[in-house]
Each structure stands twice: as structure tokens, then as C-alpha cells.
Amino acid sequence: MKMFLISDNKDTYTGMRLSGVEGVVVHERAEVEEAVSRVLADKEIGIVLVTELLGQKFSDIFGDIKLNRRLPLLVEIPDRHGTGRKENFITDYVSEAIGLKL
């Protein structure tokens, strides 16, 4: 199985290319939809890496993949600016999911 990157910046793309991961740099909705179609058509791609900014900006597109498909596995990664998440996002997520304050 192969990995594929969908990024919104060239720095992340370049770093992943140096490690052998192919990908694309996209900015507009049409470009994202085209990249996702390409990924879903390629049965060799098992993991799709998506920069957090794109994951947030186009959550409807990526959310559909997460909820309705077993493969490819979709993983949001931080870019060179770091993560856009709060410091305790995991605790908040678990608390929200199970309904208990941790």
C-alpha cells in the first residue's frame, strides 16, 4: 500500500517527497475534489495524509471519506506552522465522546 499527501503548502509537500511520499499541492475546492477523486480511484493508496488546514477548510469532503470508507485511511497532519489544535484537544474529544469530564 502507498501513502499520498494532499497539502496546502509546498514546504510540507517537499518534505514528504524527500521521504518518498507522492502528493499534490491544492488550494481551491475543485482542486481538492480532483485530488480526492484521483486518490479514491487508485486502489494502491492505503493512507492519505492531509494538512490540518485543508482538513478543517474542507471538512465536508474529508469527513465523508472518514465516515463512509474503510480505505484509504485519512490522517490529518500539522504543517510547518504546527498544529492548529488546542493544547488539550484529546481530553476534550474524549470528554465529548463519552459525556464525562476528565
Q: pLDDT of 21-30, one tens digit each?
A: 999 999 999 9
Write down all domains in the chain, each with its CATH number in brackets. Answer: 2-98 (3.40.50.10580)
d(CA 102, CA 99): 9
| pTM score | 0.76
pLDDT tens for residues 37-63?
999 999 999 999 999 888 888 888 888
d(CA 52, CA 8): 9
The candidate with the shortest Cα–Cα distance to 58, out of 32, 39, 82, 35, is 32
